[in-house]
Amino acid sequence: MPRYNYVALDTRGQESTGLLEAASTNDAIGQLRQAGYFPTSVYEETKSGPDGQVARRREAKMAKMTKPRAKTNIVLFQRKKIKPKILMIFTRQLATLIDAGLPLLRSLNVLAKQERDSVLRNTINKVADGVQGGSTFSEALALHPRIFNDLYVNMVKAGEIGGVLELVLNRLAEFQEKAAKIKNKVAAAMVYPVIVITLALTIMAFLLVFIVPKFEAVFHDLLGDKPLPAITMFVINVSRLVQAHWLVLIGVIVAIVFGYRFANRTKPGKSVIDRVKLHLPLFGDLNRKNAISRFSRTLGTLVTSGVPILQALNITRETAGNMVIARAISHVHDSVKEGESIVQPLEASRVFPPMVISMVDVGEETGKLPEMLLKIADVYDDEVDNSVAGITAALEPIMIVCLALIVGTIVIALFMPLIAIIQGLQQQT
């Protein structure tokens, strides 16, 4: 029976070589796969002489066939990120496969085949190649920071070290689900006022540009140079301003939007914006609770998964989403580094409520800080729900009143001269 030399990878990505007897090349590959190996090169053994050159050529041909071809097509504006929901589903599926007993490399290959998102599919294939080449899972993930952030990579690393990768992946999936849930609720609370404000501005612009000028012409024909009511003159002057300088007004709005986005990308500007967000009417309390929930859940999840506290604080600071909270976490990091308590810097920041500080203090004293942080996150998730419901209930009448005032002011300003004209015609008859 022929004998075959082979080069194969085991489930950990380690390369091994050897010799086996098989009826054919396909039979040899089947034997290797049944033994749990991933063959990369299989060729028939030759005894000596010129046949050795044939074997080497066959091996080179096999390596060339298994080597992935580089893509030469150029893609402009290629998407490099994925939606959080897609990453959450991938994490949950990977945890399920590993928990079911499938090797990591096999699980990645299975998920890559069924993934519909092209960016994530290509990333999974690259991660699988890294693992197959001998890298750890966390090292392979770290090569794709646009997809897997520091929180993700460090939790996976802690799971690898502790031998509880499936448990950590389940925690990651739960963290992503709860974070997405809170984010969607906050975004839903913002949608209503944005829609109403946009509607109000559209109606006001339509009235000022198209309706008010026609009424102004009617007033000039019927009243001549008679003085108009003050509110009518105010609306007419605003209408003239909008008609004469509408390009300037649009430019001002665009400049405000781009100015906000530019300031939000600089540290001083973002610091001011984030501080203002925490003190906005109605929304300030919601933003504060959301930031506290995010801080508590991120730090609690990291520490529970086995990430060292100082490293966990650094990751939490980078993913805080608010410069004021991030600055407070920096003070906490310095305090812990010096061997002190984390309660004092939290209290000095004046961002965290007394209840949070008290719960953290109790958790630190009893040695159950991670569990206490997750409880704080659960409490503030409920607080965010209540705040969203309260804001929605309060905004509805406020926005209706604002819209009524804007439209009502224009209508009253236009009808007051008409009433005077009708009264004058009645007196003449």
Which residues face 19 on adjacent strands?
5
- Of the candidates 307, 100, 129, 138, the one whose C-alpha atom is nearest the C-alpha of residue 121 is 129
Torsion angles phi and psi, residue 225, rounded to 5: -100, 15
Residue 412, domain CATH: 1.20.81.30
Would the pLDDT of 11 be above 50?
A: yes
Please give the residue range of the domain that contains residue 282: 164-429
Q: Average pLDDT for residues 200-216, to the nearest whole number? A: 87
Q: Are residues 134 and 244 in the same domain?
A: no
Q: How far from the centroid of its chain's Cα atoms is residue 43's Cα?
A: 49
Would the pLDDT of 105 be above 60?
A: yes
Q: In angstroms, what CA-CA distances link 228 with 202, 409, 419? A: 26, 15, 12
On average, the pLDDT of the chain sits at: 82
Type of residue at 204: M
**Contact, 238 vs 213, CB < 8 A?**
no
The confidence score (pLDDT) of residue 346 equals 85
Q: Are residues 121 and 248 in the same domain?
A: no
Q: Are residues 387 and 306 in the same domain?
A: yes
Domain annotation covers residue 77: no
Q: What is the pLDDT of residues 34-80, one digit of tens each?
A: 777 767 677 777 544 444 454 455 444 444 434 444 344 444 445 67
pLDDT tier at 185 (50, 70, 90 boundaries)? confident
Which residues face 39 on adjacent strands?
8
Q: Are residues 288 and 415 in the same domain?
A: yes
Q: Are residues 320 and 372 in the same domain?
A: yes
Domain annotation covers residue 411: yes
Q: What is the pLDDT of residues 319-377, one digit of tens each?
A: 888 888 888 889 888 888 888 888 888 888 788 888 889 998 898 888 888 899 999 99
Report the percent of the chain where pLDDT is more than 70. 89
Domain annotation covers residue 138: yes
Q: Are residues 390 and 249 in the same domain?
A: yes
Would the pLDDT of 9 be above 80?
A: no
Distance from C-alpha of 7 to C-alpha of 150, rounded to nearest angstrom: 35
Q: Average pLDDT for residues 268-297, to the nearest whole number? A: 88
Domain annotation covers residue 155: no
Would the pLDDT of 283 be above 90?
A: no
**CA atoms within 13 Å, Cβ hemisphere of 170:** 10
Q: Are residues 128 and 250 in the same domain?
A: no
Whole-model pTM: value is 0.65
Which residues face 4 on adjacent strands?
20, 44
Q: What is the pLDDT of residues 149-161, one digit of tens each?
A: 888 888 888 888 8
Residue 70, classed as helix, strand or coil, is coil
The confidence score (pLDDT) of residue 165 equals 85
Domain annotation covers residue 159: no
Domains held by the chain: number: 3
Domain annotation covers residue 103: yes
Q: Are residues 112 and 259 in the same domain?
A: no
Domain boundary among 66, 92, 114: 66
Domain boundary among 36, 66, 96: 66
Domain annotation covers residue 348: yes
Would the pLDDT of 125 be above 90?
A: yes
Q: Average pLDDT for residues 264-277, to the nearest whole number? A: 89
Q: Are residues 244 and 291 in the same domain?
A: yes
Q: Are residues 116 and 216 in the same domain?
A: no
The confidence score (pLDDT) of residue 123 equals 92
Q: Are residues 144 and 170 in the same domain?
A: no
Domain annotation covers residue 185: yes
Would the pLDDT of 428 be above 80?
A: no
Q: Are residues 292 and 425 in the same domain?
A: yes
The confidence score (pLDDT) of residue 65 equals 39
Would the pLDDT of 271 be above 60?
A: yes
